[in-house]
Amino acid sequence: MNNQHIVRRATWIELFFDLIFVVAIAKAAHVLVYVKDGQLDMVTYLKYMLIIIPVWWAWTGATLYSNRFATDSILQRMLTFVQMFFVIILAANINVDFDTYYQGFLLSYAAIRLLTVIMYIRTSVMNINARPISNFLALAFGIGILISLSSLLFDGVLRYTVLYAGIAFEMLMPVLAKERMQTTAVNTHHLPERFGLLAIILLGESVLSLSKSFEQLDWSLLALTMAASGFIMVCGLWWLYFDNIERRISGQTLGHGQAIIYSHLLIYAGLGGLAAMIQFAVIPELSLSAFKQLSGFAILGFMVALQFLHYVYHPGDIRKFLLRNAALFNISFLVLMVFAPSIPVIMIATTVLVIAYAALDQYCTRTIGNDG
């Protein structure tokens, strides 16, 4: 039976699982606060992405299994608790010195993925109708895990190449098997909710970063202005993201859901960068050029992925207006990155752009889209 349109909500254990995973994502985002001589070099950004991709993929794999097949049985809960334990170990091995902690990081990541494979095998045994997908994914993900584990046999760049070859293999298999995946389509209420729940927790990390920043400096008008600007920016991004999730994505036909799944890698990576951006606005430890790079990474990473979702899931008669709004924001933001003379100007102007963008988006979806 295809239950994609049944209104299913996240369970308490799923919420617990998400909360545990945020610890790992927050530690990954902390990599972006390691400043040397006022700079964040490209190696730091690379390490951040090298860490965030496996963390995101481990969470995504468990979430998609839960979306399609989870029963909230006692055994399912036990397997999920074991996954949580390995997430804690994974988080403990996240460090800017990634090479030193690589083995612990990889083994805990592989354990989380292997438990997801075990869940798929269990589903194949118990549910004959699920076998076309569950057998396929168990095999594909099992091969991917073995490829990634074989990275322990290598050193240097080749080690990471093999690790991400395994992840790329796993990500590619569902894309190549779209028709098979649609035989058990994702639940159209549960999937956006799970991805949205993690997004809102990550937005909360930006607020936490803002609060922690005040512990490290004296109160001043400039610091308060930067804090207020950062918080208003977070509110604007929340509005852009969740208003569209609620009105245009949740409950709609999502099929295999891959547009939502893969776009959220950039959304989550951007939100991690946003937390660092706000912290460095309140505590000015970055040079102007380095702050511009961080801002571009965070804001454009989040926005471009969100704009892609807007384009995919909004009806055709409104897309041209959404593309116009996206182009106006992106061009204005890039001009700001080129000509802004100071960090406070970047923060205040970016906040104004985000709020203006949210207002335009609201006008298009409610007025032009005839949503009332």
* Listed residue (91, 102, 97, 103) closest to 59, CA to CA: 91
CATH fold, domain 190-368, is I/LWEQ domain (1.20.1410)
Domain ranges of the chain: 12-184, 190-368
Average the pLDDT over each of 50-54, 117-121, 165-169, 254-258 and give the range with the smallest value. 254-258
Question: Chain-centre distance of CA 35, in angstroms?
Answer: 23
Query: What span, in angstroms and rounded, lies between the C-alpha atoms of 366 and 372?
Result: 6
CB 236 within 8 A of CB 356: no
Average the pLDDT over each of 161-165, 252-256, 310-314 and give the range with the smallest value. 252-256
Instruction: Kindly state the average pLDDT of the residues 253-270.
Output: 85
- Residue range 195-246, pLDDT digits in tens: 999 999 888 888 887 777 767 666 788 888 998 999 999 999 999 999 888 7
pLDDT of 97 reads 87
Which burial class, exposed, middle or buried, applies to 344 when counting CB atoms under 10 A from its CB (0-12, 13-18, 19+)?
middle
Reported confidence tier of residue 4, pLDDT bands at 50, 70, 90: low
Non-local CB neighbours of 215 within 8 Å, separated by 6+ positions: none
DSSP assignment letter at 342: S
pLDDT of 6 reads 63
Q: Is the pTM of this model over 0.85?
A: yes
DSSP assignment letter at 364: I
Residue 1 has pLDDT above 50, yes or no: no
- Residue range 292-327, pLDDT digits in tens: 999 999 999 999 999 998 888 877 778 888 889 999
CB 107 within 8 A of CB 128: no
Higher pLDDT, 256 or 288: 288
DSSP assignment letter at 33: G
